């Protein structure tokens, strides 16, 4: 084995850009780049809040997961109980279902996601788990499973209950989980209206309460919320030119503030930051020298999608270095660790990722090894 360190350096120079002091008129805010996971803006995002109708994101996730696993289907119908019906008559956001209705899972989901129907939440919860209380336990268990450590769900809709609480950081985790794991079903969140052919009356059409869907900025979700104690809230997602920003904010004083400030937050994120792709999962990083192998090179890859988001504000340097001790002695197994990809920002190491071998490389036979060794002694590493 002859040690040699090979270094590949890639420089990304970003443009100078000056931005003024920035603030969002809400007590709690968080903005994240979806691809890189970088938090771009944050204000008291760990404060305990009442998530209100943002709770319905988890209600939808539970149903989506069961659909994905084949435990239920969109065509399955659930019976509407009196408890569910009562929420359509008490001044809450409603889908306007009736006692004894048999409503499909798909219609209930659209009633929850688009019309924000509390009645639809209970009907779905009871249809899946037998009772809303049992369904809320499933919601909380799922929350813990995906990393929402400061959340408890006590109901499926988010109506006022001191035991139904969360934080913006947790709602951000939940929103990311929704988008990453259910891209097909997530399209329901971008629907601007839903028409329910209700029993005992004319069809009723309701618009999506997410104000960003009507702004032509690339918004495709996620969910509004309102409680008197918490005021107006919004979990939102905007995708532009292959880049997605996800935001959660709570405590807006008015609907107008929720719309205006949330749009301002996203536009600030797109204007003041760039997201740079370093590598895609399974994409070849480079070729690496092999010693005493039946092939002289082996390709390496990383298992991760690697993106970095850098603020445009002054000249910055993002440096990516691929390091390995080589040539790498055969035999080499497929998926064997062969190097490290290191990402530096302003000369500070910000992440590193294991590089794996793309292929198996067998060792040459004894006579070939002797010949290669003699060649190296005479001519060196050529």
User: How many CB atoms sit inside 10 A of residue 18's CB?
Assistant: 8
* Catalytic pick among 28, 53, 157, 259: 53
Is the alpha carbon torsion for 216, 219, 59, 149 positive or negative? negative
Q: Length of the chain in residues, anyone?
A: 382
**Strands (DSSP E) along the chain, which ranges?**
5-13, 28-33, 39-43, 77-79, 102-104, 193-196, 204-207, 219-227, 231-240, 243-252, 273-279, 284-291, 297-301, 306-311, 317-325, 328-329, 337-345, 348-357
Residue by residue, DSSP assigns 97-147 as: --TT-EEEHHHHHHHHHTS--HHHHHHHHHHHHSSHHHHHHHHHHHHHHTT
DSSP letter assigned to residue 347: T
Catalytically annotated residue among 56, 169, 231, 308: 56
User: Distance (Å, rounded) from C-alpha 136 to C-alpha 146?
Assistant: 16
Q: Which DSSP category does 74 fall into?
A: T
170 sits in which H/E element: helix 168-181
Q: Is the dihedral of CA 33, 36, 42, 44 positive or negative?
A: positive
* Helix, coil or strand: residue 215: coil
What angle separates helix 105-113 from helix 118-129, to the nearest 10 degrees? 140
Q: Are 27 and 100 in contact (CB under 8 A)?
A: no
Please indicate whether residue 56 is annotated as part of the active site. yes
Residue 53 annotated in active site: yes
94 is catalytic: no
Q: Which of 93, 94, 116, 166 is catalytic?
A: 116
Give the catalytic positions in this structure.
53, 56, 116
């Amino acid at each position: 084995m002859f040690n040699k360190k090979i270094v590949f350096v890639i420089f990304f120079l970003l443009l100078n850009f000056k931005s003024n002091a920035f603030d969002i008129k809400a007590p709690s805010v968080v903005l994240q780049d979806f691809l890189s996971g970088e938090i771009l803006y944050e204000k008291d995002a760990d404060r305990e809040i009442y998530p209100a109708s943002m709770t319905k994101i988890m209600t939808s996730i539970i149903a989506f997961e069961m659909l994905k696993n084949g435990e239920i289907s969109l065509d399955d119908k659930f019976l509407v109980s009196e408890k569910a019906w009562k929420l359509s008559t008490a001044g809450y956001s409603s889908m306007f279902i009736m006692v004894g209705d048999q409503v499909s899972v798909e219609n209930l989901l659209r009633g929850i996601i688009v019309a924000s129907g509390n009645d639809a939440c209970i009907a779905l919860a009871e249809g899946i788990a037998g009772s809303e209380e049992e369904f809320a336990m499933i919601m909380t268990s799922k929350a813990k499973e995906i990393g929402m450590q400061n959340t408890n769900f006590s109901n499926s809709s988010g109506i006022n209950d001191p035991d139904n609480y969360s934080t913006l950081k947790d709602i951000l985790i939940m929103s990311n989980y929704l988008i990453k794991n259910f891209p097909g079903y997530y399209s329901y969140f971008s629907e601007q209206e839903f028409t329910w052919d209700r029993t005992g009356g004319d069809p009723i059409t309701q618009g999506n309460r997410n104000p960003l869907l009507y702004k032509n900025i690339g918004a495709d979700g996620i969910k509004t919320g309102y409680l008197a104690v918490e005021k107006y809230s919004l979990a939102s997602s905007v995708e532009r030119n292959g880049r997605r920003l996800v935001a959660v904010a709570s405590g807006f004083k008015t609907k107008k503030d929720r719309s205006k400030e949330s749009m301002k937050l996203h536009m600030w994120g797109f204007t003041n930051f760039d997201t740079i792709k370093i590598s895609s999962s399974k994409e070849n990083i480079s070729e690496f020298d092999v010693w005493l192998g039946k092939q002289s090179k082996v390709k390496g890859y990383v298992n991760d999608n690697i993106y970095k988001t850098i603020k445009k504000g002054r000249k910055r340097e993002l440096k990516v270095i691929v390091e390995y001790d080589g040539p790498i002695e055969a035999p080499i197994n497929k998926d064997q660790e062969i190097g490290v990809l290191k990402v530096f920002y302003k000369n500070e190491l910000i992440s590193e990722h294991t590089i794996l071998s793309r292929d198996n490389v067998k060792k040459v036979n004894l006579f070939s090894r002797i010949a290669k060794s003699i060649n190296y002694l005479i001519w060196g590493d050529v």
